[in-house]
Amino acid sequence: MTNRLGDKARLQHVHDAIHEIASMTEGYDEQKFIDDSKTRFACVFQLEVIGEACRHLSGEIKNEYSQISWSQVIGLRNIIAHEYFGIDYSQLWSIINKDLPELNTVITEMINKINR
């Protein structure tokens, strides 16, 4: 079942989730993000989607793009899914602003390569 959807669909899920987060947090600063529970919860869900989709990518594609710390992406999903009340929203804000744009660049490259 792991590869039922395939890498192309999983990468698109990651891409779409990153864009959802960017759209929801546009114009936000850290405090506004922390104060807005609806946006926080929606972003947490999208980060879970990203982690779950990455968990199901093939080993081949993960090896080809080893510059991504797949274990950290998947690990974040596990933390927010299983230790929900211990989420550090300041750290999530940092991930959203620093790590997701970098991840998006690579994910876009991966999708473009698959579509060639």
**Two tokens at 95?**
């991930």
Assess if residue 16 is contained within a domain: yes
Give the other-Cβ count within 10 Å of 39's Cβ: 16
Catalytic residue selected from 4, 40, 77, 116: 77
In the chain, how many domains are there?
A: 1
Q: Are 51 and 13 in contact, with CB atoms under 8 Å apart?
A: no
Mean pLDDT of the chain: 93
Q: What is the pLDDT of residue 1?
A: 37
Q: What is the pLDDT of residue 2?
A: 43
Assess if residue 80 is contained within a domain: yes
Assess if residue 1 is contained within a domain: no
Q: What is the pLDDT of residue 84?
A: 75
Domain of 28? 6-111
Q: What is the pLDDT of residue 116?
A: 78
Q: What is the pLDDT of residue 4?
A: 55
pTM above 0.85, yes or no: yes
Q: What is the pLDDT of residues 58-110, one digit of tens each?
A: 999 999 999 999 999 999 999 998 987 889 999 999 999 999 999 999 999 99
Q: Are 26 and 97 in contact, with CB atoms under 8 Å apart?
A: no
Assess if residue 31 is contained within a domain: yes
Assess if residue 116 is contained within a domain: no
Degrees (nearest 5) of the Cα angle 13, 64, 57? 30
Instruction: Check if 10 is active-site.
Output: no
Instruction: Check if 82 is active-site.
Output: yes
Element (H, E) at 8: helix 6-25
